[in-house]
Amino acid sequence: MSNLIEQISECVENGKINLGSPYPPQMKGQPGADELTRQALAEGITPDDILNKALVPAMDRVGQKYTEKKIFVPQMLLSAKAMSVSMEHLKPYFQSGEVKRKGVMIMGTVTGDLHDIGKNLCRIMVEGAGWEVIDLGVDVKPDQFVAALDSHPGAVVGLSALLTTTMVNMSTIISTLRNKYPDSKVIVGGAPVNSDFAKSINADGYGKDPQELITWLNSQPVGK
């Protein structure tokens, strides 16, 4: 069991997606996260163990390497893809309730902003950290965030913006959310955003990168 767990974790960390993927070169011709996850489930390894002993630790290491600038976005995206193909095999167990997530995060790029690369990267990393993500997409209006909270009470909300002209819309969204859900937790991020701006609009947190976002999420009571 432990050997398969370690192999899956190594594949995710190094971005080895499946048998046919040529990257990384030193693992060419070897099974990837896809085949190994399928094998692990067939051999009776629990989905919970695959998630919490293979995927989450691997994505933690990937996030730390990215923060330390030991890897860059292309390598992170390959790791995220490897994690995603593994997660596809686990989804039926999430839906049945056999595997529990740490919590739920609602995520979207704010009103007027159509940029989603940073948001998408954060979504993949947050999923890899064991959270369920409700991705509302881009140009998300305040009432759409409220409706998502209606459907997912207690979820954490993440707001993304890439433009200085749209980051100001974060304030309106937070105010709208707090009118109905005064205790809602909101974290913001994006290229023009910083911690001072986050405080000025009454956000609960600021994530400068996916790893900082995950660290903040895991510090919240919903993640306990």
- pLDDT 10s digits, 75-92: 988 998 999 999 999 988
Position 29 confidence tier, pLDDT thresholds 50, 70, 90 = very high
Strand locations in 67-206 (E): 104-109, 132-135, 156-160, 186-189, 205-206
- For 95, 102, 117, 168, 187, the CA distances from 208, given in Å and listed in that order, are 31, 21, 14, 17, 10
Position 223 confidence tier, pLDDT thresholds 50, 70, 90 = very low
Asked whether the domain spanning 104-223 has the same topology as the one spanning 2-96, the reply is no
Q: Which of 34-38, 96-100, 186-190, 212-216 has the lowest mean pLDDT?
A: 96-100
Residue 2 pLDDT: 72
Query: d(Cα 76, Cα 170) in Å, to the nearest integer?
Result: 27
Mean pLDDT in residue range 69-80: 89
Residue 222 pLDDT: 56
Which CATH number applies to 104-223?
3.40.50.280
Q: Which of 129-133, 150-154, 187-191 has the lowest mean pLDDT?
A: 129-133
- Pick the residue with more confidence: 203 or 97? 203
Mean pLDDT in residue range 198-202: 97
Residue 150: Cβ within 10 Å count: 10
Query: d(Cα 137, Cα 224) in Å, to the nearest integer?
Result: 27
Mean pLDDT in residue range 26-46: 96
Summarize pLDDT for 118-151 with one digit per residue, the tens.
898 888 889 888 899 999 999 999 999 999 999 9
> pTM here?
0.78
Domain ranges of the chain: 2-96, 104-223
Residue 1 has pLDDT above 70, yes or no: no
- 2-96: CATH superfamily: Methionine synthase domain (1.10.1240.10)
Contact 32, 21 (CB under 8 A): yes
